[in-house]
Structure 1
Amino acid sequence: MDDIDVEPVDRVEEPESDEDAAGDGEHGAGGHETDATDADLPAETDAATALPEGVDAPEYVLYGGKGGVGKTTMAAATGLSSAAGGVRTLVVSTDPAHSLSDTYETDIPAEPTRIREDIPLFAAEIDPDDAMEEGMFGADGDPLGGMGEMG
């Protein structure tokens, strides 16, 4: 698959209709020119404008699905893109295989930690078994689940 040449594009053309596929003779079979301009393209939405006025809340992107479908890859790519855009971004994985560390090619601890100095990218790999143990008994083995005097 090394011989596949893929380049990014700025716009995706609409699929041809049956009329267009027949061709009008002017541009050959199926050929047509588009008069699309940047004004025809959908405007990018500013995340801040998507919230009601006065609401300053974080946004979350969650990836789920069965094993091997690319959840970690998508989360890592989304996080990298978000942080590259200047947004403080935290990518969290609960995969016991620590595949997020493999993807970012750096050791990622269980606590949120900055993993890039050039962009505001933070990550954490939470071991689900350890988290369950801490949630049930607290970090110090407290039978009240770390609730201390609240329990």
Structure 2
Amino acid sequence: MDDIDVEPVDRVDESDEDTTVEPAETDEALTIDDDLADLPAGVDAPDYVLYGGKGGVGKTTMAAATGLASAAGGVRTLVVSTDPAHSLSDTYETEIPAEPARIREDVPLYAAEIDPDAAVDEGMFGADGDPLGGLGEMGDAMGGMGGEGPMGGAEGEDGEGLGGL
């Protein structure tokens, strides 16, 4: 990209063209099928929304807005941030603890700001040996992490079970 020649300008000439786009006319009413968002029969699992990307693209803002909208709909919602800057506290304008806690009384909204450096210092399973790092009842919702999971009966080359991975 070193061969790109860019010249600075003092002003941008505005086009005289009308660039307005008119919506297409249609007789069909837009309908949203809520059934498409439901899990298949027999699947009982929590929903997760993960945001990732470069710094400054709005991950925390989107996570906070999604969490608030979900909780406003009556769904118990946990928003977790691992940003060392603790920007989730700034976004929600309240102190967010390291352990999941309810942060709003009017809606079922819970949050945690995990310090990634402290989490690494505590080790793979945290200070208490909790495989879920203290995320409360999520282990129960996920069906546990032990031998009852999808890989519970699988064995590694050494004959050890893989269910605890």
Tell me which interval the TM-score lies in, with the shorter structure as reference length. Answer: 0.5 to 0.7
Given the alignment, which residue of 127, 134, 137 partners 2:122?
134
Deviations 1:55-77 (A, max 9, x none): 22100000000000000000000
Aligned to 1:45: 34
1:89 aligns with 2:77: yes
Point out the structure with the larger helix share: 1
Question: When the two structures are superposed, what TM-score results if normalisation uses the length of structure 2?
Answer: 0.59
Q: Aligned pair in 2 of structure 1 residues 139, 81: CA closer, same or farther (>3 Å)?
A: same
User: Residue 100 of structure 2: which of 112, 134, 137 is its match?
Assistant: 112
Unaligned residue ranges in structure 1 (runs of 5+)? 1-12, 17-32, 141-145
TM-score normalised by L of structure 1: 0.64
Per-residue CA distance 1:115-134 (angstroms, 9 max, x = gap): 00010000000000001111
Question: Paired residues, what number?
Answer: 110
**Which of residues 65, 69, 90 is equivalent to 1:77?**
65
The aligned residue for residue 12 of structure 2 is none
- Cα distance in 2 for partners of 1:100, 1:73 equals 8
Please state how far the C-alpha of 1:138 moved relative to its aligned partner: 4.8
List, as ranges, runs of 4+ consecutive aligned residues in structure 1 with deviation greater than 6 Å.
none
Residue matched to 1:24? none
1:102 is the counterpart of 2:90: yes
Per-residue Cα deviation, 1:88-133 (whole angstroms, up to 9, x for no partner): 0000000000000000000001100000001000000000000111
Paired residue secondary structure (1:116): coil
Q: Aligned partners of 1:34, 1:136: CA distance in 2, in Å? A: 56
SS at match of 2:103: strand
Overall identity of the aligned pairs, in %: 80
Output the CA distance in 1 between the equivalents of 2:35 and 2:122. 39
Seen in structure 2, the aligned counterparts of structure 1 residues 136 and 54 have a Cα distance that, compared at 3 Å, is: closer
CA RMSD of aligned residues (A): 2.5
Structure 1 distance, partners of 2:95, 2:26, is 49
1:56 aligns with one of 38, 44, 63: 44
Alignment partners' CA distance in 1, 2:106 and 2:35: 23
For structure 2, the 5+ residue unaligned runs are 1-20, 131-165
Distance change >3 Å, CA 138–CA 88, structure 1 → 2: closer
State how 1:13-24 maps to structure 2 within 5 Å.
15-16=23-24
